[in-house]
Amino acid sequence: MTLQEAMSARHMVRKYEDRPLPPATLEQLQARIADNNSRHNLAIRLVTNDGGALPSLLKWTVAKGVTNYLIMAGTDAPDLGERLGYAGADIMLYAQTIGLNTWWASGTINFGHVGKLAEGLKVHGIVAVGFGQTQGVPHKSKTAGEVSTYHDGEAPQWFKTGVVAALMAPTALNRQAFTVEGRGREVALSYKPGPFSGVDLGLVKYHFELGAGAENFDWKK
């Protein structure tokens, strides 16, 4: 499975099987995390066999078996959320290619427990990872016309494909509160301000790049 194929296959999964990640899978996942930490100056950490990341009420209701997760953290900075979102998108899609399922959780986590493990770094949520009890299902999505505009005649295929990919990105409460505008090779991406807008911006940005092909366009400065 390619990363592009993983975009279509990946869905939010909140319930996981009670089985450990195989050593070879852990090694692959750790290598991908290390690469993203190095590229984006982050401190994402994989925690295994720990059930304390979610509040008890959540574990008794909508979420089950979350014992392996990534702490999405780094040194606090204005763009930290966006960098974590971008890196997180890459790790989540990579996890899908090696047979794992994921779920990004932000506002509903046990920040006391996760914060201690993060050792003073700024935490923007966790990504649950493991073998899902199901593969999840697609959620209702906005249309390309609702989130994008191309200002220079007929939109090129790379732009159309990028927008479709952006709509597959996970966003807080599935709001998809972003706008993509294109003119020639230049693309501008904006996100409606909110508590998770930085992370969501990074998630959407990664998906657009993967769909459109980074060689086909330039981000507007």
Residues 108 and 36 in one domain: yes
- Whether 137 is in a domain gets the answer no
Among residues 97, 130, 163, the one where a domain terminates is 130
Low-confidence ranges of the chain (pLDDT < 50): none
The count of structural domains within the chain is 2
- Whether 136 is in a domain gets the answer no
Residues 111 and 168 in one domain: no
**CATH (domain of 37):** 3.40.109.10
What does the radius of gyration of the chain's CA atoms come to, in whole angstroms? 17
Q: What is the pLDDT of residues 101-154, one digit of tens each?
A: 999 998 889 999 999 999 999 999 999 999 999 999 988 899 999 999 999 899
**CATH (domain of 158):** 3.40.109.30
DSSP β-ladder status, 69-74 and 148-150 = unpaired
Q: Which domain holds residue 159?
A: 144-219
What's the maximum distance between 2 C-alpha atoms anywhere in the chain? Answer: 53
Residues 114 and 150 in one domain: no
Residues 172 and 120 in one domain: no
Residues 17 and 81 in one domain: yes
pTM equals 0.96
Residues 12 and 103 in one domain: yes
Residues 114 and 185 in one domain: no
Residues 97 and 38 in one domain: yes
Residues 102 and 163 in one domain: no
Q: What is the pLDDT of residue 194?
A: 85
Q: What is the pLDDT of residue 23?
A: 97
Q: What is the pLDDT of residue 25?
A: 97
Q: What is the pLDDT of residue 156?
A: 98
Q: What is the pLDDT of residue 91?
A: 98
Q: What is the pLDDT of residue 1?
A: 93
Spatial CB neighbours of 71, under 8 Å, sequence gap ≥ 6: 44, 45, 46, 47, 114, 117, 118, 123, 126
